[in-house]
């Protein structure tokens, strides 16, 4: 009996130890992954704050001019001050400009003891990447300042060539300091496995594994760590917890003691880094000891209870009765839960039906708004349309009066000629009426293959009175092959009419007015550019131009472009606006092409 109790006790401790160790490991793994994600996101956010800045600076005109004329001392001094201001505003470490040979010609630290001006950094990988037309990225010790930093470099382009490179250096030391003082250690390694960011200063510029001769050669050639001796830490790799987590032992420099960690890793592909989180394993040992103590106490208590209960048979019967009551309570609780689930399911079905009705009402409202905008556009064109119709009517009246006089004079041939002219004028009015009737027709928004040439011609015929009245020329640069796009032809025509009408309104103060329509196939989409020679769109309006009710007209509602943007998106396309380099504004439509494209002659 004693041997059985001892065996049961040993088995219990073994099971408890294994279960607790596994549970704590899983908890550590889960919490470590969450913490690691936070560190990675924090580091990524810090880099993304500055990632766009070199590309933005590369478009600066004084910067380009200095690269074109690098010997202008006045320009250099002005640009030095400008880069110094940029550095102060963005809180970057350094900002500088290099020519295509890697020579620094302007820098934000031009007044410091060790300025970058006149130094050549062509050996840096970020310069080589930028000169290849890419965004350069690199982390290293500054060869001049000796301070750690992350570099972003971007090419300065001019007329298809690269004149030089603009570089931003940021300091991650503050971020490293913020990570210190916690119960975990964080390290970031470069592609060679060298630690350059760490919450343990003694690990800096060490490696997690011995470096090969090729890796050491690459480090020396790039001067990444300015001659620092990179030696490996004394790391012993132990059991594997998961694909991204493992236990390691790190010995001290004097090998007197070692520390065990659970190490997790997550890559940052764009930067080429590997971020590691090290959680001390002593937490597992403490939890196991606590569990052993609690298990021993529980085993002792259970053993005593078992001895007492073995002497009291009646208590077993009471326990069975108690278990039956508990089971009954569980069944009742389960029945109540099932009833609540059924009730909640009914409520969810009602909510889904209500949402469906709401979406249908919203779609109907959108369709009505599109139709209202179309009719409002017809109202705006009513004066020109009325003029276009009144002219044929006046001519018909004149021809009718002439025909009556000619009949009295029995000049039948002339009467016949008058009637032919009247018939042609009526045909003209019929075409105008038919075109407007098609434009005003309400559609269900369904898409089908549509000829882009036909849509443009129809839009031009609708706007013909306004175009003639405002003396506006439309230039077409159409493809030899008529592209078919997947769209609703009536709504697409509405968008084109609105964009061309807006262009005519923007050119009211121009003497020579023209609207250019250019088409080009890009992959699976058709790109249509609508340009005008107006004054363009103010920069502070570009971000809001498609917002509902945003307008610069005194009598406008600001819905035309917003509705047009929605129509194009509903057809699987995009509508964007910018200022053209040629003249005024340029609106760009992108629509998906149909599966087949036919020639202009229909074959």
What secondary structure does DSSP assign to 398-444, as a single string? HHHHHHHHHHHTT-HHHHHHHHHHHHHHHHHHHHHHHHHHHHH----
Q: Does the pLDDT value for residue 78 go beyond 80? A: yes
53-171 and 444-599 agree in CATH topology: no
pLDDT tens profile 418-477: 676 677 667 556 655 555 555 555 566 678 898 888 888 888 888 887 788 778 888 877
Q: Does the pLDDT value for residue 69 go beyond 90? A: no
* CATH class for the domain made up of 53-171: alpha beta
The contacts of residue 77 (CB under 8 Å, 6+ apart) are none
- Band the pLDDT of 597: cuts 50, 70, 90: very low
* Strands 231-232 vs 235-240: parallel, antiparallel or unpaired: unpaired
Q: What is residue 112's predicted lDDT score, i.e. its pLDDT?
A: 85
Question: Which residue reads 């509405």 in tokens?
Answer: 494
Q: What is residue 392's predicted lDDT score, i.e. its pLDDT?
A: 63
Q: What is residue 7's predicted lDDT score, i.e. its pLDDT?
A: 65
Where are the domains positioned within the chain? 53-171, 174-283, 444-599
- CATH of the structural domain 444-599, one choice from 3.30.565.10, 3.30.56.10, 1.10.630.10, 3.40.50.2300: 3.30.565.10
Q: Does the pLDDT value for residue 1 go beyond 60? A: yes
| Residue closest to 184 by CA, chosen among 286, 39, 46, 45 | 39
Q: What is residue 173's predicted lDDT score, i.e. its pLDDT?
A: 80
- What is the average pLDDT across 331-359? 80
- What is the average pLDDT across 181-201? 84
- Band the pLDDT of 602: cuts 50, 70, 90: very low
Higher-confidence residue: 141 or 199? 199
Q: Are 63 and 79 in contact (CB under 8 A)?
A: yes
Query: How many alpha carbons lie under 13 Å from residue 441 in its C-beta half-sphere?
Result: 15
Q: Are 531 and 518 in contact (CB under 8 A)?
A: yes
| Residue closest to 267 by CA, chosen among 206, 189, 210 | 189
- What is the average pLDDT across 8-16? 67
The sheet carrying 94-99 orders its strands as 104-107, 94-99, 161-170, 148-158, 136-141
Q: What is residue 195's predicted lDDT score, i.e. its pLDDT?
A: 86
Higher-confidence residue: 363 or 215? 215
CA–CA separation, 270 vs 513, rounded Å?
48
- What is the average pLDDT across 538-550? 79
Q: Average per-residue pLDDT in the chain?
A: 78
Q: Which of 188-192, 463-467, 590-594 has the lowest mean pLDDT?
A: 463-467
Please report which helix (H) or strand (E) contains residue 268, including its range.
strand 258-268
Q: What is residue 229's predicted lDDT score, i.e. its pLDDT?
A: 74
Q: Does the pLDDT value for residue 333 go beyond 50? A: yes
Q: What is residue 104's predicted lDDT score, i.e. its pLDDT?
A: 92
The contacts of residue 422 (CB under 8 Å, 6+ apart) are 396, 399, 400, 403
pLDDT tens profile 559-572: 678 888 888 888 88
Dihedral pair phi/psi, residue 503, rounded to 5°: -65, -40
pLDDT tens profile 259-318: 888 888 888 888 788 899 888 877 676 666 666 766 666 667 676 676 677 677 777 777
| Residue closest to 209 by CA, chosen among 186, 185, 229, 189 | 189
Which residues share a beta bridge with 103?
Answer: 120
CA–CA separation, 231 vs 225, rounded Å?
12
Q: What is residue 558's predicted lDDT score, i.e. its pLDDT?
A: 61
DSSP 519-546: EEEETTEEEEEEEE-S----HHHHTTTT
pLDDT tens profile 494-528: 888 888 888 888 888 788 888 888 888 888 899 99
Q: Are 415 and 403 in contact (CB under 8 A)?
A: yes
Burial 358-373 (b: 16+ CB within 10 A, else e): eeeeeeeeeeeebbeb
| Residue closest to 98 by CA, chosen among 156, 55, 150 | 156
Q: What is residue 310's predicted lDDT score, i.e. its pLDDT?
A: 67
**Percent of the chain surpassing pLDDT 90:** 7
Q: What is residue 601's predicted lDDT score, i.e. its pLDDT?
A: 41
Q: Does the pLDDT value for residue 213 go beyond 70? A: yes
Given CA atoms 597, 601, 602, 603 in this order, what sign does their dihedral have? Answer: negative
Top mean-pLDDT range of 8-17, 96-105, 456-465: 96-105
Burial 276-306 (b: 16+ CB within 10 A, else e): bbbbebeebeebbeebeeebeeebeeeeeee
**Percent of the chain surpassing pLDDT 70:** 77
Torsion of CA 592, 596, 601, 602, to 10 degrees: -120
Q: Which of 136-150, 173-187, 428-442, 462-476 has the lowest mean pLDDT?
A: 428-442
CA–CA separation, 388 vs 133, rounded Å?
55
Q: According to CATH, what is the number of the domain 174-283?
A: 3.30.450.20
Q: Is 159 left (phi over 0), alpha (psi -120 to 50) or beta?
A: left
Q: What is residue 303's predicted lDDT score, i.e. its pLDDT?
A: 62
Q: Which of 120-129, 230-239, 481-490, 594-603 has the lowest mean pLDDT?
A: 594-603
CA–CA separation, 237 vs 208, rounded Å?
10
Higher-confidence residue: 403 or 375? 403
For residue 445, what are the CA distances in angstroms to 64, 484, 490, 494, 496?
A: 49, 17, 9, 12, 16
CA–CA separation, 264 vs 587, rounded Å?
49
| Angle at the Cα of 596 from the Cα atoms of 436 and 499, rounded to 5 degrees | 35
Query: In 171-226, at which residue ranges do the beta strands (DSSP E only) sit?
Result: 185-189, 195-198, 206-207
For residue 227, what are the CA distances in angstroms to 127, 217, 221, 427?
A: 20, 11, 10, 89
CB atoms within 10 A of CB 420: 11
Q: Does the pLDDT value for residue 586 go beyond 50? A: yes
| Residue closest to 36 by CA, chosen among 356, 274, 272 | 274
CA–CA separation, 176 vs 196, rounded Å?
10
- What is the average pLDDT across 45-60? 88
Q: Are 205 and 195 in contact (CB under 8 A)?
A: yes
Q: What is residue 598's predicted lDDT score, i.e. its pLDDT?
A: 44
């Amino acid at each position: 009996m004693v041997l059985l109790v001892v065996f049961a006790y040993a088995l219990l401790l073994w099971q408890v130890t294994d279960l607790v160790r596994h549970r704590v490991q899983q908890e550590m793994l889960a919490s470590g992954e969450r913490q690691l994600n936070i560190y990675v996101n924090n580091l990524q956010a810090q880099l993304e704050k500055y990632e766009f800045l070199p590309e933005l600076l590369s478009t600066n005109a004084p910067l380009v001019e200095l690269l074109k004329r690098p010997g202008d001392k006045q320009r250099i001094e002005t640009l030095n001050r400008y880069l110094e201001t940029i550095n102060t505003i963005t809180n970057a470490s350094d900002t500088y400009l290099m020519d295509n040979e890697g020579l620094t010609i302007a820098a934000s630290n031009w007044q410091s003891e060790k300025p970058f001006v006149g130094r050549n950094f062509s050996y840096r990988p970020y310069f080589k990447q930028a000169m290849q037309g890419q965004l350069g990225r690199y982390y290293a010790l500054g060869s001049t300042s000796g301070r750690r930093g992350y570099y972003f470099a971007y090419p300065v382009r001019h007329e298809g060539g690269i004149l030089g490179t603009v570089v931003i250096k940021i300091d991650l030391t503050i971020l490293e300091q913020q990570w210190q003082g916690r119960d975990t250690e964080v390290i970031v390694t470069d592609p060679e496995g060298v630690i350059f960011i760490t919450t343990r200063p003694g690990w800096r510029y060490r490696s997690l594994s011995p470096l090969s001769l090729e890796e050491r050669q690459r480090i020396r050639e790039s001067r990444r760590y300015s001659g620092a001796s990179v030696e490996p830490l004394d790391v012993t790799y132990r059991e594997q917890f998961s694909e991204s987590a493992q236990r390691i032992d790190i010995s001290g420099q004097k090998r007197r003691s070692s520390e065990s960690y659970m190490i997790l890793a997550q890559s940052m592909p764009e930067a080429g880094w590997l971020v590691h989180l090290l959680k001390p394993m002593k937490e597992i040992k403490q939890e196991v000891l606590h569990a052993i103590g609690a298990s021993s106490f529980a085993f002792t208590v259970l053993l005593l209870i078992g001895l007492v209960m073995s002497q009291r048979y009646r208590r077993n019967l009471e326990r069975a009765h108690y278990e039956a009551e508990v089971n009954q309570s569980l069944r009742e609780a389960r029945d109540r839960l099932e009833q609540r689930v059924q009730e909640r399911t009914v409520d969810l079905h009602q909510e889904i039906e209500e949402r469906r009705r709401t979406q249908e009402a919203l779609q109907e409202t959108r369709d009505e708004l599109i139709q209202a905008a179309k009719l409002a556009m017809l109202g705006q064109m009513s004066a020109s349309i009325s003029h276009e119709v009144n002219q044929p009517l006046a001519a018909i009246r004149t021809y009718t009066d002439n025909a009556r006089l000619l009949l009295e004079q029995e000049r039948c041939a002339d009467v016949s000629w008058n009637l032919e002219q009247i018939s042609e004028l009526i045909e003209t009015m019929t075409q105008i009426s038919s075109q407007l009737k098609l434009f005003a027709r309400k559609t269900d928004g369904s898409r089908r293959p549509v000829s882009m040439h036909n849509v443009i011609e129809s839009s031009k015929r609708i706007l013909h009175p306004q175009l003639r009245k405002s003396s506006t020329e439309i230039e077409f640069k159409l493809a030899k092959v008529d592209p078919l796009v997947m769209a609703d032809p009536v709504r697409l025509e509405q968008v084109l009419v609105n964009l061309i009408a807006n262009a005519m309104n923007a050119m009211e103060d121009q003497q020579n007015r023209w609207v250019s329509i250019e088409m080009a196939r890009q992959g699976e989409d058709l790109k249509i550019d609508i340009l005008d020679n107006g004054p363009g769109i103010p920069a502070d309006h570009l971000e809001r131009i498609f917002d509902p009710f945003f307008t610069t007209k005194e009598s406008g509602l600001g819905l035309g472009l917003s509705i047009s943007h929605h129509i194009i998106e509903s057809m699987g396309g995009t509508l964007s606006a910018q200022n053209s380099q040629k003249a005024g504004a340029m609106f760009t439509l992108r629509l998906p092409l149909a599966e087949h494209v036919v020639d202009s002659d229909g074959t």
